[in-house]
């Protein structure tokens, strides 16, 4: 069964091709995270929404004209025959570039209906991104239906990446709510935290402070979470300084992503919107992770009081020791 739809983007073919193939551009409209080896025989892996990962191999590439790749869902519950093919063809047109998406080999009417809903959603976002430069936060990534330490890490990563997309070189020396860190220092801290977890998981990562803040953190977080999903949440992880339960290490990623998203947003005067279901869940992770012993080590300040009217996110950041002003 086949899904077939064409959209007209107000971009030239090279710009349109980048939007559908480059990780930094894919994150703007279709994915939370993306790994792409753009060559025939190269592999890709996309976190489309938290906990939902598509992967496959490129079988045909004509830069600026066409890209074809296999498509399969990575989840354990996905059927064995879930491999299909996506072909995307670009042609110059009046007003921009037509982009035709053909997804064939879908095995059942139910699979066609599900993938049609997904493609329609994301092609609407692609058109918004191409037209306005900002497709906005993806509501499908806001609150995973099946929350666990890894799906919530995907969701909180989406939030911090969206905040970091606003950070520029001019913000480097701006003070954050963390007394010891300006924006540049907090970026280094976040990159170091992710990199340490990545190495403990056996993932190969390389930090590059010369990248834009969003790309820097995204390029560290994607292989870290991919390695974590493949490892799973069982047992313990040797972090070098201690053996920690895998669930605790994943919880630390959640806190790094979401709490620092709040820190960066406050430093830049931005509002950060988070679904209460997600923040409530991460607050439970924080309560299970931040012990008095951890606070006494200096990693977290004492929990702060908040008003009864405080939001779920404000309660979380107050628990981590940040002062929330009314």
Give pLDDT tens digits for 256-311: 999 999 999 999 999 999 999 999 999 999 999 887 766 666 667 777 888 777 88
Locate 227 and state its tokens. 């390695």
By the 10 Å C-beta count (0-12 exposed, 13-18 middle, 19+ buried), 160 is classed as buried
pTM over 0.85: yes
Locate 96 and state its tokens. 């921009």
**227 vs 225: CA distance, rounded Å:** 5
pLDDT value at residue 310: 81
**145 vs 156: CA distance, rounded Å:** 14
Tens-digit pLDDT profile for residues 4-62: 999 999 999 999 999 999 999 999 999 999 999 999 999 999 999 999 999 999 999 99
Percent of the chain with pLDDT over 70: 95
Edge-to-edge strands of the sheet including 66-73?
A: 2-9, 96-104, 84-93, 66-73, 52-62, 43-49, 33-36
**182 vs 188: CA distance, rounded Å:** 10
pLDDT value at residue 120: 98
pLDDT value at residue 297: 65
Q: Is 200 helix (H, G, I), strand (E, B) or coil?
A: helix
**254 vs 10: CA distance, rounded Å:** 37
Q: Which residue has the higher pLDDT, 191 or 302?
A: 191
Nearest to 211 by CA among 175, 266, 258, 169: 169
Tens-digit pLDDT profile for residues 207-238: 999 999 999 999 999 999 999 999 999 999 99
Nearest to 54 by CA among 84, 29, 28, 25: 84
By the 10 Å C-beta count (0-12 exposed, 13-18 middle, 19+ buried), 180 is classed as exposed
Residue 188: φ, ψ to 5°: -60, -40
Locate 20 and state its tokens. 């559908």
């Amino acid at each position: 069964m086949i899904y077939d739809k064409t959209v007209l983007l107000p971009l030239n073919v090279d710009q349109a091709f980048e939007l559908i193939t480059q990780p930094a551009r894919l994150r703007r409209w279709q994915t939370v995270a993306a790994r792409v080896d753009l060559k025939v025989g190269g592999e890709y892996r996309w976190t489309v929404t938290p906990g939902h990962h598509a992967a496959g191999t490129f079988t045909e590439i004509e830069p600026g004209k066409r890209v074809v790749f296999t498509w399969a869902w990575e989840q354990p519950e996905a059927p064995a025959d879930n491999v299909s093919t996506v072909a995307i063809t670009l042609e110059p047109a009046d007003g921009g570039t037509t982009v035709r998406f053909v997804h064939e080999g879908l095995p059942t009417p139910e699979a066609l209906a599900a993938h049609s809903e997904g493609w329609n959603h994301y092609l609407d976002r692609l058109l918004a991104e191409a037209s306005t430069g900002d497709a906005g936060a993806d509501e499908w990534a806001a609150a995973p239906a099946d929350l666990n330490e890894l799906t919530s890490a995907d969701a909180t990563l989406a939030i911090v990446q969206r905040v970091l997309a606003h950070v520029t070189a001019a913000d480097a020396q701006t003070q954050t709510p963390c007394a010891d860190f300006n924006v540049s220092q907090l970026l280094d801290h976040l990159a170091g935290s992710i990199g340490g977890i990545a190495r403990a998981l056996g993932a190969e990562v390389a930090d590059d402070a010369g990248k834009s803040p969003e790309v820097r953190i995204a390029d560290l977080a994607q292989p870290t979470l991919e390695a974590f999903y493949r490892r799973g949440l069982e047992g313990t992880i040797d972090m070098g300084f201690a053996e920690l339960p895998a669930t605790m290490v994943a919880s630390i990623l959640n806190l790094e992503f979401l709490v620092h998203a709040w820190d960066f947003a406050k430093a830049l005067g931005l509002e950060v919107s988070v679904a209460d279901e997600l923040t409530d869940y991460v607050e439970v992770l924080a309560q299970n992770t931040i012990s008095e012993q951890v606070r006494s080590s200096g990693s977290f300040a004492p929990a702060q009081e908040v008003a009864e009217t405080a939001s779920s996110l404000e309660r979380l950041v107050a628990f981590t020791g940040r002062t929330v002003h009314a």
